[in-house]
Amino acid sequence: MEIAEGVHLLGATKGSYVFLVRTSEPVLIDTGFRGRADRILAEIAAIGMRPRDIAHITLTHHDVDHVGNAHALADATGARVWASSEDGPFIRGDVRPTGLRGLMRGVVPVVPTSVDQFYEIGGSVGGLEVLATPGHTLGHVSLRYGDILFAGDLVTSRGGRLAPSPRVLTADRAALRRSLREVGKLPFRLVCPAHGEPIARGSLWEALVGRA
Ligand SMILES: [Zn+2]
């Protein structure tokens, strides 16, 4: 579904959304739960693009529901895979998460993915601005394109509201609060979380910050 000009929400990834932004260097944002690579590629084809047209695969963080198809999609597209320097080692499989995230990895094994490049915070990947938004994980990033914020798991949307990253999965709550405050200073109109539907910002962000 094209939610803004050149910005596609890939419906096959409902549950942990993947977005495709069609800039001069097309960008995939996250890769969803494992086992959906074929459906993602079918949706890319339905948009009228070939796998090789994808220039960048950007990972907001290392959780299993975001990196699930990274390996398969990197293979199919030849795209450059981006991650933060903090989360990259988990994505490459060099480091195993502990606690609840370690248990999740046990239940949902992930194919390690080579990370081609670490983000430069404040820099741009395929025309998208990279924002450091630590909290959910220590290296979580969000991406901004025009007036759209791709929030990863910084926030979720449900029932017309925004909620912060769930506490049980928040690695650093103080960092999360700071991230929400800092991002809130930026102009954007539409919020696209991985979990929940895209939602107009309105005054929802302000209501959110105190709840983290
Ligand atoms: Zn997630």
Compute, in angstroms, the gap from residue 14 CA to the centroid of ligand 1. Answer: 11
**Tokens at residue 100, please?**
């609840």
How far is the centre of ligand 1, averaged over its atoms, from the C-alpha of 133 (Å)?
14
> In 3D, which of 34, 69, 47 has the Cα closest to residue 1?
47
Q: For the chain, what is the largest distance between any 2 Cα atoms, rounded to a whole number of angstroms?
A: 43
Number of domains in the chain: 1
How remote is the CA of residue 50 from the centroid of ligand 1, in Å?
A: 27
Residues 122-135 pLDDT 10s: 999 999 999 999 99
CA 64 – ligand 1 centroid, Å: 7
46 CA to middle of ligand 1, Å?
Answer: 25
Residues β-bridged to residue 190? 148, 200
Residue type, position 188, single letter: F
**pLDDT tens digits for 74-88?**
999 999 999 999 999
Ligand 1 geometric centre to CA of 82 (Å): 17
Please give the full DSSP string across 47-90, using - where no structure is assigned: HT--GGG--EEE-S---HHHHTTHHHHHHHH-PEEEE-TTTHHH
What is the percent of the chain with per-residue pLDDT over 90, rounded to a whole number?
Answer: 90
Inter-residue contact 180 to 154 (CB < 8 Å): yes
CATH number at residue 44: 3.60.15.10
**C-alpha of residue 5 to centroid of ligand 1, in Å:** 25
Say whether 184 sits in a helix, a strand or coil.
helix
32 C-alpha vs ligand 1 centroid, how far in Å?
Answer: 8
Measured in Å, residue 119 CA sits from the centre of ligand 1 at 19
Quick one: pLDDT band at residue 179, thresholds 50, 70, 90?
very high
Residue 108 confidence (pLDDT) = 83
Q: 203 C-alpha vs ligand 1 centroid, how far in Å?
A: 24
DSSP 93: T
* pLDDT tens for each residue of 87-119: 999 999 999 998 889 888 888 888 899 999 999
Query: In this structure, are strands 155-158 and 128-132 parallel, antiparallel, or unpaired?
Result: unpaired
Distance of alpha carbon 32 from its chain centroid, rounded? 9
The pLDDT score that the predictor gives to residue 8 is 98
Q: Structural domain of residue 47, as residue ranges?
A: 2-209
Q: How far is the CA of 171 from the centre of ligand 1 (A)?
A: 13
